[in-house]
A and B are shown apart, each in its own frame.
Chain A
Amino acid sequence: AAMELPPSHYSVTRAAALAAGYVCHRLGGPGHGLALRAVRHARRQDIDGVGRKYYLELVLEDIMDNDRTVNCTAEVLYHLGNKNIAPDVQFTIEGELKNTDEADNIFYNRVKSLEKELVAENIPDSHGNVSPEMQPIQLLAWVASGYVIWQNSTENTKFQLAQIKHVKQVKRSDEYLEFDYKILLHEIVSQDIIPWQMTVLWHPQHGVQVTRDSRQPKHASE
């Protein structure tokens, strides 16, 4: 039987962060991203021989316009034993997401028509500033990091994208845009800052895909 949990309990907020990352990765793009606003309700169930399942009712907000929210029901199953399998996530969304076709196409055409590949560093900068031209690049990283977060989360971790250290566009002959990102993830329980590489593909009609990702070694502390 499923046990009800207070929404502020750390096991709930960790599962919720993971679910939100997954949802954002599935639905997001350079023009629209989602972030966890609140947990309305949470239950947990231990399933013998399988793992532990969380049943969550979440409120997600639109990063570009945080007066806009959607309700989300999600189920997160952490598998028993082998910690190398990503948790299973299922979700439904209630409410409409903003249509960003126009902004997406403008960004797509802008990047496609660049003569030299786009390159940038430190987004945001130390003071938290992001130039308007870089906002879609930042949002794309946020959305893609949802995939990395989902793939690498356990009940004892809570990840968040902290900063983009470096991003470089990789020119392609097909219609997709490709970016090679070096990001920093913040893991709250260990307080670690973990460098991670991810290769991100995007097309306005085909959504966001992370085709390759790998944890990077930390530089030796000075």
Chain B
Amino acid sequence: DQVLHIVPETFQQVQHLQHLCSTLLLDLWKPLQPEDIWAGEDLHIRVPAPLVQEVKDSLAQHMISYKVLIPDVQKLVDQSMPRERSSHRQVPEGYVYTQYHPMEKIYQWMSQIQESNSELVTQHYLGKTIENRTMYYLQISQPSDKTKKIIWMDCGIHAREWISPAFCQWFVKEILQNYKSDPKISRFLQNLDFYVVPVLNIDGYIYSWEKDRLWRKNRSPHMNGTCYGTDLNRNFNSSWGSIGVSYNCSSEIFCGSGPESEPETRAVAQFIERKKNDILCYLTIHSYGQYILTPYGSTTKPPSNSEELMHVAEKAAAALMGKYGTSYEVGPTSLILYSNSGSSRDWAHMIGIPFSYTFELRDNGTHGFVLPPDQIQPTCEETM
């Protein structure tokens, strides 16, 4: 296909061009309609390949001169298409962020990310899981002489919520790819550090890959190994064991044998407790439901800074909706979802971290936990 540039000189030429456009159904790029073709005004027409010769002959016959503006439309289209894999200058070559990855690959990814971005990213030991796997967090921190406040984000506390670790990986990639060019991100990094745990419940995540896709809890053994798993998000020391839990190991919301009974919970709690004076915001990423949840789950009594918490969350939900129109509900868990106790978000707020939120990512239930990979990109982009 070609795009021709013509400047009609006379009324007859205008008429002929209008005739040509309507009979051959040519694609007018400028102006939009044949009626708007005027003598002395620019005309751009896209001519489909099979008609190019016929049109040129007809123009020649009527002494209408033309220039070829675009000799090959398809070639231009191909060139302007983004490549399948976005360029990974600062991130591991070939890592596909729009696919779900097993834990082994995520471990590799963490080391690679640190290696290729050592001026910004450091990988740190957080603790060990019940099956003795190492838990890490990534610290994204721009060197500076001032102490910075911290934003903590953990993903994958519930094994089956695969979109959550996918989001953490995406988040890190976005920051690293854009911190030099995006003024918002570079301003963030001047004043804040990000601490990201890509997968908190590592044993559970692996189990959901290998054995049971819809597994939720960790893999701690109970009752002589006849029953497995504590719900890590019921195991924190925030009104532990009081409501919205089960004391039975066979339940998905089993709160464990006591608050912080699980090594994964202790690893996170001990770290956050130590750093709590510098942590501005605690974020924990889950799915599904499309909610931004504020404290508390254990009581309907609102937190002390409830207004501010809601205000920020509402702005976040609005920004999120601005991207693809996805709507997120905002509010306290105890009113929107159900009562629960021992959640990490409630605990973080109770020890003094002012902004504490649970994000429940896409979708609304149609796919639930098993979100197709083609939704990874839009989910991550809008949440970003």
Contact = CB atoms under 8 A, between A and B. Distances in A.
Contacts of B216: 191
A222 interface: yes
B100 A127 contact: yes
B231 A186 contact: no
A129 B375 CA distance: 11
B199 to A, nearest CB: 16
B338 A189 contact: yes
What band does the interface of chain B fall in when counting residues whose beta carbon is under 8 Å from A? Answer: 35 or more
B370 A162 contact: yes
Given A8-B329, A35-B365, A162-B370, A191 B211 contact: no
B190 interface: no
Interface stretch (B104-112, B171-179, B250-258): B250-258
Contact of B213 (A8, A126, A221): A126
Contact of B370 (A128, A142, A190): A128
Given A192-B251, A222-B228, A162 B373 contact: no
A35 B366 contact: yes
Interface residues of A, number: 34
Nearest to A193: B214
B214 A186 contact: yes
A192 B252 contact: yes
Contacts of B367: 124, 128
B372 A127 contact: yes
A9 interface: yes
A193 B364 CA distance: 17
Contacts of A36: 364-365
B65 to A, nearest CB: 46
B227 interface: yes
Contact of B365 (A6, A10, A17, A191): A17
A96 to B, nearest CB: 21
A37 B226 CA distance: 41
A164 B217 CA distance: 21
Interface of B: 99-100, 209, 211, 213-214, 216, 226-229, 231, 246, 250-253, 327, 329, 331, 335-338, 364-373, 375
Given A10-B335, A13-B336, 18 more contacts: A8-B329, A9-B335, A10-B338, A36-B365, A63-B366, A124-B372, A125-B370, A126-B370, A128-B367, A160-B368, A163-B214, A188-B337, A191-B231, A191-B252, A192-B251, A221-B226, A221-B227, A221-B228
